[in-house]
Amino acid sequence: MTETYKVQRWTSRSIVSTALIAALQFALLAAPFVFSANVVDHLTTLFVYVVLAITWNALAGYGGLVSVGQQLFFGFGAYGAIRLSQAGVPVYAALALGGVGSAVLALIVSSFMLKLRAGEFAIGMWVLAALVQLLVSLDPIIQGATGTSLLALNSFAPAARRADTYWFGLVAMAGVALLLFLLLRSRLGAAMQAIRDNEEAARSVGVRVQLAKRIMFVLAALGAGMAGAVWLATSISFQPNTYFGVQWTAYMIFMTLVGGIGTFEGPILGAVLFFAVEAAFGAEGVWYLIGIGAAAVGFALLLPQGIWGWMERRYALRLLPVGYVLKLQGVDAGRQHGFARRSVPPPPAAMRISEQS
Chain residues in the site for another protein (CB under 8 A): 1-3, 5, 7, 187, 190-191, 193-194, 196-198, 200-209, 262, 323-326, 328, 331, 333, 335-348, 350-353, 355-356
Nearest residue (CB) to another protein, 129 versus 207: 207
Q: Does residue 100 contact residue 228 with C-beta atoms inside 8 Å?
A: no
Provide, rounded to whole angstroms, the least separation between the CB of residue 316 and another protein: 11
Amino acid at residue number 342: R
Smallest gap from Cβ 6 to another protein, in A, equals 9
Contact 142, 116 (CB under 8 A): no
CB of residue 262 to another protein, shortest distance in Å = 6
* Least distance (Å) between residue 198 CB and another protein: 5
CA 147 to chain centre: 27
CA distance 344 to 342: 7
Of 30 and 349, which has the nearer Cβ to another protein?
Answer: 349
Query: What is the closest distance, in whole angstroms, from the C-beta atom of residue 69 to another protein in the complex?
Result: 24
Q: What share of the chain is helix, strand, coil (3-state, %, to 5)?
A: 70, 5, 25
Is 62 in contact with 196 (CB distance < 8 Å)? yes
CA atoms of 226 and 35, how far apart (whole Å): 24
Looking at beta carbons only, is 9 or 154 nearer to another protein? 9
Spatial separation of the C-alpha atoms in residues 134 and 138, rounded to whole Å:
6
**Residue 11 vs 25, nearer CB to another protein:** 11
- Nearest approach, Cβ of residue 319 and another protein (Å): 18
Q: CA–CA distance from 94 to each of 48, 82, 155 (Å)?
A: 17, 7, 15
Angle in degrees, CA 106, 292, 171, rounded to 5: 45
**Cβ 331 to another protein, closest distance in Å?**
6
d(CA 238, CA 274): 23
56 vs 79 by CB, closer to another protein: 56
What is the nearest approach in angstroms of another protein to the Cβ of residue 60?
12
Phi, psi of 204, rounded to the nearest 5 degrees: -70, -15
SS3 357: coil
Cβ count within 10 A of residue 225: 37
Cβ-contact 106, 217 below 8 angstroms: yes
Rounded Cα distance between 323 and 325, Å, is: 7
Quote the strand ranges of the chain, DSSP E.
4-8, 148-149, 237-238, 325-329
Q: Closest CB to another protein among 88 and 346?
A: 346
Task: Supply the minimum distance, in Å, between the C-beta of residue 349 and another protein.
Answer: 10
Measured from the CB atom, is 81 or 191 closer to another protein?
A: 191
Comparing CB distances to another protein, the nearer of 61 and 98 is 61
Which CB sits closer to another protein, 27 or 325? Answer: 325
Minimum CB–partner distance for residue 336 and another protein (Å): 4
- Nearer CB in complex with another protein: 141/201: 201
Contact at 8 Å (CB) between 325 and 8?
yes
